Amino acid sequence: MSDNRNWDQLYIGGHWVEPAGSGRITVISPVTEEPFGATPDATTDDVDRAVAAARRAFDEGEWPLLDPMERAAVLRRFADIYLSHLDEMAELVTGEMGSPISFSHLGQSAGPWKLIDLYADMAADFPWEEERAGLAGGRVLVRQEPTGVVGAIAPWNVPQVTIMSKLAPALLAGCAVIVKPSPETPLDALLMAQWIDEAGFPEGVVSVIPGGREVGEHLVRSGGVDKIAFTGSTAAGRRIGAICGEALRRVSLELGGKSAAIVLEDADVERTVQGLRFASFVNSGQACAAQTRVLAPQSRYDEVVDAMAAVADDLVVGDPADAATEIGPMVAQRQQARVSGYIDIGRDEGARIVAGGTGMPEGVDRGWYVKPTIFAGDNSMRVAREEIFGPVIVVIPYSDERDAIRIANDSDFGLAGSVWTADKAHGLDVARRIRTGTIGVNKYGPDFVGPFGGYKASGIGREYGVEGLEEFVEVKNIAP
Ligand code: NAD
């Protein structure tokens, strides 16, 4: 089929091929609850074919041996093709998983394109080979070599960013990559494969095989894979980490979060909650780095609770294809049920609902929507400790700044965070004391130039920045 919603073939080893099985993935629109598109459902045989092609490309092909500038040139072609299709990608992702289009233009298309460019730019200055004077008078040559065959496993919430943060640096490093997108978002991945194909990567270097958990785990267990780069839930990350640990396979894990926004005593509450309007509710709350715990000083607690409730009530909920929409549907009925379940859990454990609650938001009568919900609660509650992955926020009181830092750090996770204050220098001091991978002062939104990743159960390793490239190299010491 010629449109970008219906695909009959998989992209394996640089060719469009018939899938090994006859299974199909049907993508259901979270807005209409009707079929939106379909792709083949890859099987373990497809994984084996992709791994064999990648192995050949890496072990016998020219790709890992090319000058990094030559690899960057192919990445640059890919980036140029991607750039000419940004709107198409944004609209496709919005259609398949319901991301509000205003966010899709940024986070689901322009962002991933920028990542390709960022890594192509790094080719010139990365220390691929560095000479050091030896202690005994000789020389030491330190080389950064590609890790090998990479299995890149991605989630559905920001499908293109989480693919590109692995694919672009791995390709620049000289790796061969097998992309396993989520079964909720296979369409954007195959559209991207089309642009990979046009860019002219050598045979075997890239495969894209949408499939479920079983296919993902087969890739993780494959002896032909040197490194797994995974983004997804902490539960799946633990399992993948255990398998890779047993096999001594390299692994990086980008997992869940429960990030704290610390509102300091001197903060301008109205400016703070307008910042959190994006930072807490971005992508309808289906964001690993969403600021889902808002910590407010006891003295201003009611003021912050009321202001957050006003923001939640004011959010535009509706069709994600509409430019004004801030909150779209949840990706799937299962996710709607999960988020609604947490709203029940919060109420049952004594958190006070000050905005939202269960049931469909006003103005929508179908689709997998939930109401943006604000709880007044405390940090011991499950709604404050577990990742909900929807537009549900808990406002938590603290007694003094020490207490705020303690509460922010009292979490299994450590992915993101923010500090809101009239005194930026002081905010920076507080930010330094939070055990988290990324944090902003009076804003949240990590820049791709810097690293992104988790402390604690939020993961192992880093993406973006030069640190994201270092995840795909082995370091070799040569005595020349
Ligand atoms: P998920 O863990 O269910 O699935 C993620 C991917 O892993 C999918 O492709 C899935 O098919 C595959 N998978 C699942 N179990 C597997 C296994 N045992 N072996 C191999 N592959 C397996 O997560 P999800 O629901 O798709 O995504 C939401 C989660 O992703 C949230 O927890 C969110 O916080 C996290 N996330 C983290 C980041 C980050 O950068 N830290 C970014 C986006 C999303």
- Under 8 Å between Cβ of 441 and 271: no
CATH number for the domain that contains residue 360 = 3.40.309.10
At 130 the pLDDT is: 97
At 350 the pLDDT is: 98
169 and 274 together in one domain: no
Tokens of 41: 């459902």
Whose CA is closest to atom 13 on ligand 1?
213
pLDDT at residue 323 is higher than 60: yes
236 and 349 together in one domain: no
399 and 280 together in one domain: yes
Q: What is the pLDDT of residues 464-476, one digit of tens each?
A: 999 999 999 999 9
At 2 the pLDDT is: 45
207 and 329 together in one domain: no
Count of structural domains, the chain? 2
244 and 200 together in one domain: yes
Query: In percent, how much of the chain has pLDDT > 90?
Result: 99
Ligand 1 centre distance from Cα of residue 7 (Å): 23
Query: Greatest CA separation found in the chain?
Result: 77
407 and 472 together in one domain: no
120 and 154 together in one domain: yes
167 and 196 together in one domain: yes
Whose CA is closest to atom 23 on ligand 1?
232
At 1 the pLDDT is: 38
244 and 289 together in one domain: no
220 CB within 6 A, ligand 1: yes
Q: Which ligand 1 atom is nearest residue 454's CA?
A: 41
Domain membership of residue 347 (yes or no) is yes
In the predicted model, what is the mean pLDDT of residues 308-316? 98
CA distances from 373 to 292, 315, 357, 368 (A): 11, 11, 6, 15
In the predicted model, what is the mean pLDDT of residues 411-420? 98
Domain membership of residue 392 (yes or no) is yes
239 and 307 together in one domain: no
245 and 267 together in one domain: no
Domain membership of residue 5 (yes or no) is no
pLDDT at residue 36 is higher than 60: yes
311 CB within 6 A, ligand 1: no
Domain that holds residue 401: 260-447
In the predicted model, what is the mean pLDDT of residues 182-198? 98
Helices (DSSP H) in 265-300: which residue ranges? 269-279
Domain membership of residue 453 (yes or no) is no
At 3 the pLDDT is: 83
Q: What is the pLDDT of residues 350-406, one digit of tens each?
A: 999 999 999 999 999 999 999 999 999 999 999 999 999 999 999 999 999 999 999
CATH number for the domain that contains residue 16 = 3.40.605.10
Q: What is the pLDDT of residues 8-27, one digit of tens each?
A: 999 999 999 999 999 999 99
Domain membership of residue 327 (yes or no) is yes
Q: What is the pLDDT of residues 277-300, one digit of tens each?
A: 999 999 999 999 999 999 999 999
Computed over every residue of the chain, the mean pLDDT equals 98
Q: What is the pLDDT of residues 108-144, one digit of tens each?
A: 999 999 999 999 999 999 999 999 999 989 999 999 9
Ligand 1 centre distance from Cα of residue 205 (Å): 24
26 and 101 together in one domain: yes
In the predicted model, what is the mean pLDDT of residues 439-456? 97
Q: Under 8 Å CB-to-CB from 111, ≥6 apart: which residues? A: 158, 160, 161, 164, 448
DSSP three-state, residue 3: coil
187 CB within 6 A, ligand 1: no
Q: What is the pLDDT of residues 139-161, one digit of tens each?
A: 999 999 999 999 999 999 999 99
Select from 288, 291, 455 the residue to mutate for testing ligand 1; criterion: most ligand atoms less than 8 Å from CB.
288
